[in-house]
């Protein structure tokens, strides 16, 4: 993955404090903080985040070893707790004087950091999908679509690519993420000419006969959490096509299950294939969605920093918000709402077998 936009600056990988002997924080002109649950109950889920950032830094260091001293990445453990994350962020901001932060795997932790980051004017780049409230903050940038946007992409795909006309919605009334995805799907599906025939919660166990009576040609189910959701089980037992996202934990049933994702290893895009090959060679395992977003985040930061140096007195954030930047999927750009726009892959699962079906380009 040697495109010109990424042949810029190399960063030093600093696993702990103090920093590794090969470089020093005092020599770095630009410091990136990385906060993630290295320990605690979330650690197994977040391991790929640190691996992917490290991989990106190693790639730059190999290309430009003479420039390794100019950028430093300082890592802090939030221990899977918001309180620990706040303390870690305080140290990164006040003691290490970081210029930018790559956010945690835990959005609960990220939410707790907002006051610290806004007070210090430190931007945070998110690598997990989040809700509307989080991305409304001026310090927050996102490498992945919001919950609402993922719902929107599923809605557009259902209407435009699958030619669905009558969709039903099944969601979790006590889950804010499901609600936002549900609203996004409804908005996009109606805008594309479809009709929402009804909306039900997963707890309405006796609603399946009512749903069938309305004759939907598809169902949107943002998530399935457990085995006691008989309404979702009934939907899976039917031949109807279901649309969802990566939050859907069950396998496909009698019909097809289409998922809007932030990344999939199945995507034949050349940039994706290059990244998967690089990650597998380094770690002997396939990257997940978190790894892809984390790898892209350090690429984007390095490019924006380089662009800020190439123009006299050009602020780094201005470069990041106004310039085309190279990610795994090619050239992308941050919107006015500080979200990095790139294609959203769609997969289809039938009888437990998943395959790539295409991409949706956000508006």
Q: And the tokens for 226?
A: 């457990």
Cα separation, 119 vs 115, in Å, equals 6
**Helix, strand or coil, per DSSP, at residue 243:** strand
Q: Residue 222 phi/psi, 5° resolution?
A: -60, -30
Paired sense of beta strands 166-171 and 218-220, if any? parallel
In this structure, of 143-147, 207-211, 326-330, 355-359, the range with the lowest mean pLDDT score is: 326-330
Cα separation, 240 vs 242, in Å, equals 6
DSSP-derived letter for residue 114 is: H
Fold matches, 4-145+267-343 and 148-261: yes
Give the residue among 164, 349, 335, 351 at the shortest CA–CA distance from 245.
349
pLDDT tens digit sequence for 146-178:
999 999 999 999 999 999 999 999 999 899 999
Only one residue has tokens 């020599």, namely 27
- Work out the percent of the chain whose per-residue pLDDT is above 70: 90
Only one residue has tokens 């649950």, namely 37
**Helix, strand or coil, per DSSP, at residue 260:** strand
pLDDT at residue 1 above 70? no
pLDDT, averaged across the chain: 87
The domain limits of the chain are 4-145+267-343, 148-261
pLDDT at 93: 93
pLDDT at residue 316 above 90? no
pLDDT at residue 282 above 50? yes
Q: Residue 31 phi/psi, 5° resolution?
A: -120, 130
CB atoms inside a 10 Å sphere around CB 299: 25
Q: What global pTM score does this model have?
A: 0.88
**Helix, strand or coil, per DSSP, at residue 216:** coil
Give the largest Cα separation in the chain, rounded: 69
pLDDT at residue 142 above 50? yes
CA atoms within 13 A on the CB side of 350: 9
DSSP-derived letter for residue 351 is: T
- Tell me, which fold does domain 148-261 have in CATH? Rossmann fold (3.40.50)
pLDDT at residue 13 above 60? no
pLDDT at 15: 35
**Helix, strand or coil, per DSSP, at residue 289:** helix
pLDDT band at 237 (very low <50, low <70, confident <90, very high): very high
pLDDT at residue 6 above 60? no
**291 and 51 Cβ atoms separated by less than 8 Å:** yes
Mean pLDDT of 204-222: 94
**293 and 16 Cβ atoms separated by less than 8 Å:** no
Mean pLDDT of 50-71: 79
Task: Name the CATH superfamily housing domain 4-145+267-343.
Answer: Response regulator (3.40.50.2300)
H-assigned helices in 64-203: 82-94, 107-120, 132-135, 147-156, 176-191
Mean pLDDT of 14-41: 67
**250 and 235 Cβ atoms separated by less than 8 Å:** no
Cα separation, 124 vs 113, in Å, equals 9
Cα separation, 86 vs 273, in Å, equals 37
For helices 289-310 and 43-63, what crossing angle results, to 10°? 40
Mean pLDDT of 350-354: 91
Query: 74 versus 341: which is more confidently predicted?
Result: 74
Cα separation, 56 vs 322, in Å, equals 23
């Amino acid at each position: 993955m040697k495109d010109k936009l990424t042949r810029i600056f190399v960063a030093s990988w600093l696993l702990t404090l103090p920093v590794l002997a090969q470089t020093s924080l005092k020599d770095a002109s630009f410091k990136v903080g990385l906060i993630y649950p290295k320990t605690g109950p979330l650690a197994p889920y977040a391991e790929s985040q640190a691996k992917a950032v490290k991989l990106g830094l190693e790639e730059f260091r190999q290309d430009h070893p003479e420039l390794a001293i100019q950028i430093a990445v300082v890592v802090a453990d939030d221990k899977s707790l918001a309180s620990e994350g706040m303390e870690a962020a305080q140290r990164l901001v006040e003691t290490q004087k970081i210029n930018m932060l790559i956010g945690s795997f835990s959005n609960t932790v990220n939410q707790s950091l907002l006051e610290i980051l806004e007070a210090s004017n430190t931007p945070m780049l998110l690598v997990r999908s989040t809700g509307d409230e989080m991305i409304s903050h001026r310090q927050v940038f996102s490498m992945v679509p919001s919950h609402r946007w993922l719902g929107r992409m599923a809605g557009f795909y259902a209407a435009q690519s699958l030619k669905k006309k009558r969709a039903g919605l099944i969601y979790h009334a006590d889950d804010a993420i499901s609600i936002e995805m549900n609203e996004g799907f409804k908005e996009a599906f109606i805008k594309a000419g479809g009709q929402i025939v009804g909306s039900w919660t997963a707890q309405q166990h006796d609603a399946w006969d009512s749903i069938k009576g309305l004759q939907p040609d598809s169902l949107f189910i943002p998530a399935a959490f457990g085995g006691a959701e008989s309404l979702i089980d009934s939907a899976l037992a039917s031949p109807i096509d279901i649309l969802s996202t990566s939050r859907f934990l069950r396998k496909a049933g009698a019909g097809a299950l289409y998922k809007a994702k932030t990344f999939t290893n199945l995507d034949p895009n050349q940039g994706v294939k290059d990244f998967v090959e690089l990650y597998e060679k380094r770690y002997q395992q396939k990257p997940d969605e978190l790894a892809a977003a984390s790898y892209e985040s350090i690429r984007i930061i390095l490019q924006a920093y380089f662009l800020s140096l190439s123009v006299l007195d050009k602020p780094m954030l201005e470069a990041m918000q106004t310039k085309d930047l190279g990610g795994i999927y090619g050239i992308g750009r941050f919107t006015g709402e500080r979200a990095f726009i790139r294609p959203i892959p769609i997969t289809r699962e039938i009888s437990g077998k998943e395959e790539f079906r295409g991409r949706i380009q956000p508006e």
